[in-house]
Amino acid sequence: MPRTLRPLLSALAAVLLLTGCLTIEENYTFKKDGSGTMEYVVDMSALGEMLKSLEAMSEGKGDEGGPGDLDMKDQAATLKSLPGISKVKVKNKEKYVQRLTFRFKDIAALNGALNVLMPDSTGATHDFFRWDGSTLVRTNNRHALEMGDDMGADATGDSTDPTAFLQSMHYKYSFTFAEAIRDRQVAEGVGQESPEPRQLKLDTDWSVIMKDPTALDLRITLDK
């Protein structure tokens, strides 16, 4: 999760416990030459009116801003300085939906950007993607797992099972390639859909991620 979002976890915990309604998306396109685009989305739109109430309560109390004031400008500024990353944009047209988009020159550039967007507590650089021949391999650091720990603890405390709460929050991937997808390997508990041969959409929730830290890892083999 972008660092600007972490302070919100405690403030939103009670609301999220009632409604769930947080979705993280990673949307990718890959060209034949290995370049492509990425869109990172933090979607809290389903919280709607409740978030407005929190913002109203924060007005006049010296807070730096309510949930609707969040953006990813700091991450965008860092991305703009990375080699192989271009066309960085933050889109905030939908009040509770933050979208950050960019182009990447190759896998190395993409991995550099993902380390900015999704760091974990180790501070170590992680290679999220690599090509193994015609197979795109994704592995993950502890970012999503630590995010689940934070949200589950803040929302339910130590004495309550957070499973139902974690099930209400989703993590989504989408991939579009220049070639057709021949095969894919995803973890148990991850739903998949292929609207067309070149596309793959994946959807899981945080209860799956917390049970299996490798739930977001995958392999996608292309017809090359």
Its sign, for the CA torsion 197, 28, 112, 170, is: negative
The pLDDT tens digits for 141-150 are: 999 999 888 7
pTM: 0.83
* DSSP bridge pairs for 29: 37, 176
Arithmetic mean of pLDDT, 15-32: 79
Q: pLDDT tens, 92-124?
A: 777 788 999 999 999 999 999 999 999 999 999
At residue 61, the pLDDT reads: 47
- Return all residues near 97 (Cβ < 8 A) that are at least 6 apart: 41, 42, 43, 44, 45
**Location of structure tokens 């049970």:** 211
